[in-house]
Amino acid sequence: MANKVVVRKPGEGDAFWVLGGLYEVKAASSETNGSVTVMHMTLPPGSGPPPHTHAGGEIAYVLEGTVRLQIGEESVEAGPDSFVYIPEGTLETFEPTSTARVLFVYLPGGLDEFFAEVGERAPSRELPPPSDSPPDVDRLVAAAGKYGVQMRPPA
């Protein structure tokens, strides 16, 4: 395990296309002794994961755009400079209502490995081309448990 300072400038680090969005690793679990994963996501309107819970806490900080979060029974609209903390085990999902850039912090780390497994390495730092096929939710659900995520896809 690493025990070092992590510095990422724009365009550095791994990047993946996941669920129609660009997911950039700012701090990987392997770089932080497993204590944190930090992701910068660029998300098109309507994208987002199925409802799920995490084994640890999650922080979302909206940099640009707007995102609707469903946290338990509560619906929250978040715009630029909005901060949201979601405790461990809370059922949640989100959907961008405009193109959004969001910084996500996962405590403890490890979700960068999940995104690498279910995503596709991004050949460029831009949104992937639109897809005519729906996301492979079964693949997400199958991989999620290995990383402390329990997905509850819509019936």
Structural fold of domain 15-150: Jelly Rolls (2.60.120)
Question: Is the confidence at residue 20, as pLDDT, over 90?
Answer: yes
Locate the domains of the chain by residue range.
Answer: 15-150
Predicted pLDDT at 72: 94
Mean pLDDT of 18-44: 96
For 39-42, which contacts have Cβ atoms below 8 Å and span 24 or more sequence positions? 39/103, 39/104, 39/105, 39/106, 39/111, 39/112, 39/115, 40/101, 40/102, 40/103, 40/104, 41/100, 41/101, 41/102, 41/103, 41/104, 42/99, 42/100, 42/101, 42/126, 42/127
> Could you read off the pLDDT of 51-73 as tens digits, one per residue?
999 999 999 999 999 999 999 99
Dump strand ranges (E) for 1-154. Answer: 15-18, 21-27, 37-43, 52-54, 57-64, 67-71, 74-78, 83-86, 92-96, 100-107, 120-121, 149-151
Confidence of residue 3 (pLDDT cuts 50, 70, 90): confident
The residues, ordered by sequence, that sit 6+ positions from 51 with a Cβ below 8 Å of its Cβ are 70, 91, 92, 93, 151, 152, 153, 154
Question: Is the confidence at residue 2, as pLDDT, over 80?
Answer: no
> Could you read off the pLDDT of 78-110 as tens digits, one per residue?
999 999 999 999 999 999 999 999 999 999 999
Name the pTM for this structure: 0.94
